[in-house]
Amino acid sequence: MPRDPRISSLVSAIAGGLVVLVIGALLLATDVIDTGKTTREVIRQEPITRNASNEDGGLTVRDIYKRDAPGVVFITAHIVRRSESPFGPLPERGTASGSGFVLDKDGNILTNAHVVQGATDVQVKFEKGDAVDAKVEGTDLSTDLAVIKVDTDSKKLKPLKLGDSGKVNVGDPAIAIGNPFGFDRTVTTGIVSALQRQIDAPNGLKIKDVIQTDASINPGNSGGPLLDGTGKVVGINSQIATPTGGSVGIGFAIPINTAKRLMPQLEKGSLGRAYVGVTTITVTKRIAEAFNLAQDHGALVQEVDRGGPADKAGIHGGRIETTEGLRAGGDLIVKIDGTDIRTSQDVAKAIADNHSGDEVKVEYYRGKDKKTAQVKLAKRPASLDQQQPLPDTLPLP
């Protein structure tokens, strides 16, 4: 199935981190930039428009920057990833950079998971002073969130106030603080352009209810805060849509309410996502007719993880390689806990808020016979988070 060009243009703001660091190094080597003090404050500025959703207001961008910038940090992660070569998998070492912000006086810092994914060591630089070592406490690739922790003088820790992303409206002011292209603690402004967008998580799942903003976001902004007109964090800057690799005014921030819900678990370790243990494809009318399915929508099971939750509940797959190509004849999932399943993505969405050990009712067809199964969800294996989902297509006989 051809990919939507808008989707293919989504670029993680940190994805170009390695290139950014190379460019930054060249600039630093020739003394073109000085990352010591790269952000200048506006001298005269009217108060920005007050959010319609709250009673606070009267702050200028300068006020907000002065108060909140000390709580924004510059993150450097040394990473090791495996790349294929004629000699087999080889370790590939590099450095990624991004942003984050202080959550509390205990040293917890929130950032994007893709900023620290695969990191062998992480360092954090505050507004003043040298970089300090940080420990990755927990990550969740499904929401692209991570909590890291530093052990440092509490005087350096300037926690930011968290807002309520559920009260954000289109047209509200938006302020981003981060480290684009290595320029530390840069502030940009704009508005909330749209709500309830969806972006791809690092593991291929969808992140929902994402905030779109035209505040300028570039590589290096990843993990930094998106603030409202009162200076409270309403989102975590994560991705941009761009044809050039730079900001064109379409940025995306993960809502802070998503982070608030997961932070208690992230601070204790990587989030154990629940999973059903199936690989499915979306059923279309053509697929339904080709395989004589009971209905023309749902998630057709192709593979069942051996010993996984679905396998233990008796759900069957039907992914078979033949000389004619890929044939499918597995069970057709149509509901999970009363939620209609129309596409393969709906399976992950239906259990997104569940935890390992929870039981869900799965309704499915085997041929023309409708069946139900109580599936006890298990912790999602870490290896699955590194895999991309199968293309949502199926060769037909």
Lowest mean pLDDT among 86-90, 122-126, 145-149, 242-246: 86-90
* pTM as predicted: 0.63
Alpha helices in 217-366 (DSSP H): 256-266, 285-290, 309-312, 345-350
Region 87-115 average pLDDT: 83
Q: How far does Cα 259 stand from its chain's mean position?
A: 10
Q: Which of 180, 162, 323 is nearest to 235 (CA)?
A: 162
Rounded (to 5) percent helix, strand, coil in the chain: 20, 35, 45
Q: Which amino acid, 147?
A: V
Dump pLDDT digits (tens) for 21-44.
333 333 333 223 233 343 333 333
φ and ψ of 50, to 5 deg:
-75, 140
Region 210-232 average pLDDT: 90
Alpha helices in the chain (DSSP H): 5-8, 17-29, 61-68, 113-116, 256-266, 285-290, 309-312, 345-350
Contacts of 161 (CB under 8 A, 6+ apart): 231, 232, 233
CA distance 186 to 217: 10
CA distance 390 to 382: 17
Domain spanning 274-386: CATH superfamily? PDZ domain (2.30.42.10)
Active site residue 356: no
Active site residue 78: no
Q: Active-site residue among 68, 99, 142, 144?
A: 144
Are 221 and 180 in contact by the 8 Å Cβ rule? The answer is yes
Q: Where are the domains of the chain?
A: 5-266, 274-386
Dump pLDDT digits (tens) for 42-98.
333 344 444 544 445 568 889 999 999 999 999 988 887 655 545 555 556 777 888
CA distance 125 to 99: 10
C-alpha angle 143-148-154 in degrees, rounded to nearest 5: 135
Q: State the DSSP code for 47.
A: P
CA distance 237 to 384: 25
Region 187-213 average pLDDT: 87
101 has a pLDDT exceeding 90: yes
- DSSP secondary structure string, 75-142? EEEEEEEEE--TTS-EEEEEEEEEEEEE--TT-EEEE-HHHHTTEEEEEEE-SSS--EEEEEEEEETT
CA distance 104 to 101: 9
Q: Which residue has the higher pLDDT, 385 or 306?
A: 306
Mean pLDDT of the chain: 77
Q: Identify the pLDDT of residue 167.
A: 92
Q: Active-site residue among 114, 140, 142, 305?
A: 114
Q: Identify the pLDDT of residue 218.
A: 84
> Tokens 């799942």 label which residue?
205
Q: What percent of the chain has pLDDT over 70?
A: 73
Dump pLDDT digits (tens) for 270-304.
666 677 888 888 898 888 888 888 999 999 998 88
CATH of range 5-266; options 1.10.3720.10, 2.40.10.120, 1.10.260.40, 2.60.40.10? 2.40.10.120
Alpha carbon separation from 377 to 8, 276, 353, 359, 374 (Å, rounded): 32, 6, 12, 6, 9
Q: Active-site residue among 222, 247, 270, 344?
A: 222
Q: Identify the pLDDT of residue 384.
A: 52
Alpha carbon separation from 288 to 115, 292, 295, 304 (Å, rounded): 42, 6, 7, 20
Region 141-165 average pLDDT: 90
Q: Identify the pLDDT of residue 162.
A: 95
Active site residue 222: yes
